[in-house]
Structure 1
Amino acid sequence: MMQWHIVCDFDGTITPTDVIDNILERFADPSWADIEDAWISGRIGSRECLSLQLSLVKAYPAQLLDYFDSVEIDPHFPAFVEQALGLGATMAIVSDGLEQGIARILSRHRLPLLPIIANGLRQVDRDRWRIVFPYASDACRAASGNCKCRSTPDNKRVLVIGDGKSDMCVAETADFVFAKGRLAEHCERNGIPFARFDSFAELPALLALLPHSLPSPTVRLPLEQQELFHHV
């Protein structure tokens, strides 16, 4: 695995639910759902969507921290991280969510320190907030707040682990994908080499099957190997 870099999504992948959606359901004006529909339909990108939605949130810092402290993660994720790093892979959490929330949630679990590449939350009043996008790109095809394609190194093969729309663009340039939810459907529709999973408990076995000697970072798996993985 020394030749592989893992780009791992957070919301809906490491966590069972979406952290920002839960914040909006608890603390935002209900009109956030209309903005979400505009993003899902493709009328706006996630950067615009998140900016509009987070401006609707009214919550004191203690309320947000209490919520972050209630969020659970896949219980098998820490063991997967230890295994992947032990095999020599590098790994980063790359999310279109909130860096402060991700760091707070992961800090409650016994995990090696991992780079977190995500959006930031800034307080603008006692109970009002805005989101900032340190990893955005005007060239991002998906108009994302965090352009996940920019997080991939040039000198390693890339394994993407994710579940949804924010992972689709980077999955298209990855060497392999571990996918669930809408991302798995996207990979299947577009012929992207992937393995479907529901829990990190399944991933140690999939890592063992992952090819370790692709000729170059852009080469796809042979068709018969793709079929094997598609049906794992």
Structure 2
Amino acid sequence: MRPIIFCDFDGTITKSDNIVAIMKQFADEVTAPIKDAVLNKEISIREGVGRMFAQIDSGLREQIIEFVVENAELRKGFEDFVDYTKQQGIPFYVVSGGIDFFVEPMINGIVNHEELFCNSADFSSEHIQILWPYSCDKECSNDCGCCKPTVIRKLAHDGDFKIVIGDSITDLEAAKMADLVLARDFLIDLCEKDGIKYQSFETFHDCINIIKKKLEVRV
């Protein structure tokens, strides 16, 4: 069984959720109820993210990028973790509900472009419009936006040992498909509620140690 890793970005690779931070900084009052509706599963992730960004002027693009780059912080050990996957020949993909214009600057030089799956944005209108290049396939009806289960079905082979790393509701459906879930924050609560086995982590050095032990046991 070949190990293959699918890792979230916001709140996982970074120490905080950048979409939440962007909304608080640029459109807090009008987007807070939308965010809560997503977390409470009252509306889909795709609808919620699209509606939140639609509240922000397209002219703020560069300010948003600058804000994320200056304020977001990569979780400790991430670069070592990526190096570990390369050394071990483990396929590693970042699958994110975030948007390319602020995700890419944060991981440029660490993760290759072809290893990143996320949403994109159109700034040609007055307000930001989110595009969905990795929307749900016919096996998913959750209206995910960037559909992590769809990406997993596309990239993983039968018999692969699927490892999912995440922190929030956007990772729940992927966690249901995983052989090993590394979880933190809200994803822990969701896994416990749904009876999904997981191991918690704080740094990517924790992730390295957990995966090493798990692969040793499997061998």
TM-score (normalizing by structure 1): 0.83
Spell out the pairing of 1:129-208 with structure 2 (5 A cutoff): 129-137=128-136, 139=138, 140-152=140-152, 153-155=156-158, 156-208=160-212
- The CA distance in 2 between the partners of 1:63 and 1:167, in whole Å, is 28
- The CA distance in 2 between the partners of 1:53 and 1:112, in whole Å, is 27
- The CA distance in 1 between the partners of 2:85 and 2:137, in whole Å, is 33
Residue 67 of structure 2 corresponds to residue 67 of structure 1: yes
Q: Which moved more, 1:189-198 or 1:129-138?
A: 189-198
**1:68 shift after superposition:** 2.9
Structure of larger gyration radius = 1
Question: Aligned partner of 2:117: which letter?
Answer: I
Question: Aligned partner of 1:88: which letter?
Answer: G
Mark the runs of 5 or more structure 1 residues left unpaired by the alignment: 216-232
SS of structure 2 residue aligned to 1:44: coil
Task: Give the aligned partner of residue 52 of structure 2.
Answer: 53
**1:212 shift after superposition:** 5.8
Q: Which has the higher helix share?
A: 2
- The CA distance in 2 between the partners of 1:29 and 1:187, in whole Å, is 28
Task: Give the aligned partner of residue 120 of structure 1.
Answer: 120
Deviations 1:48-102 (A, max 9, x none): 1111111101242321221132122113100011012211110110011112211
Question: Aligned partner of 1:204: which letter?
Answer: I
Q: Which moved more, 1:22-31 or 1:128-137?
A: 22-31
Aligned residue pair count: 211
Indicate conservation of the 8 Å contact 1:82/1:112, yes or no.
no
Indicate conservation of the 8 Å contact 2:44/2:142, yes or no.
yes
SS of structure 2 residue aligned to 1:69: helix
Deviations 1:117-175 (A, max 9, x none): 111011024x6311011111164343211110011112422100001100000100111
**1:24 shift after superposition:** 1.3
- The CA distance in 2 between the partners of 1:93 and 1:138, in whole Å, is 19
Indicate conservation of the 8 Å contact 2:96/2:146, yes or no.
yes
- The CA distance in 2 between the partners of 1:190 and 1:32, in whole Å, is 28
Mark the runs of 5 or more structure 2 residues left unpaired by the alignment: none
Task: Give the aligned partner of residue 95 of structure 2.
Answer: 94
**1:21 shift after superposition:** 1.3
SS of structure 2 residue aligned to 1:118: strand
Deviations 1:168-224 (A, max 9, x none): 001001111111112122223333232111111212211211146869xxxxxxxxx
Indicate conservation of the 8 Å contact 1:29/1:56, yes or no.
no
Q: Percent same amino acid at aligned positions?
A: 27
Indicate conservation of the 8 Å contact 2:136/2:142, yes or no.
no
- The CA distance in 2 between the partners of 1:214 and 1:192, in whole Å, is 20
Indicate conservation of the 8 Å contact 1:68/1:104, yes or no.
no
